[in-house]
Amino acid sequence: MKNIVLIGIMGCGKTTVSLLLAEKLARPVIDIDEYLEKKYQMSIPEMFAISEAYFRERETICCQEVSKLNGYIISTGGGVIKNPENMKALKENGIVIYIDRPISMILEDVETSSRPLLKDGAEKLFDLYKERHQLYLDSCDYHIMNDVTIDEFINNIINCIKENK
């Protein structure tokens, strides 16, 4: 059974959606950021404090490891698409879904000070979206807007997965 891989900018809903999908589909969940922190015994901000390259190298190792799982829902970090090797690994056994959420909605929900890449303020989120949107589109099997109720959104994803069987 293929994995369901969720990609998208920070705050788009990957973690929440992964947990709800897991409940509805009776599948296990793995969050790559949590996996990475546990594996390396460091928080993501601590890794970024060393360097973004340090973090990204470890993220790639983790993507390669979790891509070997079967039937999981995999929640990725927002920058996972920056390295084509990550997406190559995750696509080998996964259906990739780009959760696209309007930045204005994200800013209503996300505490920017807790996100390493947003420490300079909310404007950075708009810049990240401009920088990464096309990469997300190029990397995904399905592009789904997250601008409806959570139940509608989960059903949209389930319909895409059924379509892929």
- The annotation places the binding site for ATP at 11-16, 115
Exposed/middle/buried for 32, CB within 10 Å: 0-12, 13-18, 19+?
Answer: buried
Exposed/middle/buried for 123, CB within 10 Å: 0-12, 13-18, 19+?
Answer: exposed
Supply 73's token pair. 């829902």
Sign of the four-CA dihedral 121, 123, 127, 130: positive
- Residue ranges of the binding site for substrate: 33, 56, 78, 132
Q: Rounded to an integer, what is the distance from CA 115 to the centroid of its chain? A: 14
Supply 150's token pair. 């959570």
Strands annotated E in 101-164 = 142-145
- Residue ranges of the binding site for Mg(2+): 15
- Residue ranges of the binding site: 11-16, 33, 56, 78, 115, 132
- Strand partners of residue 142: 97
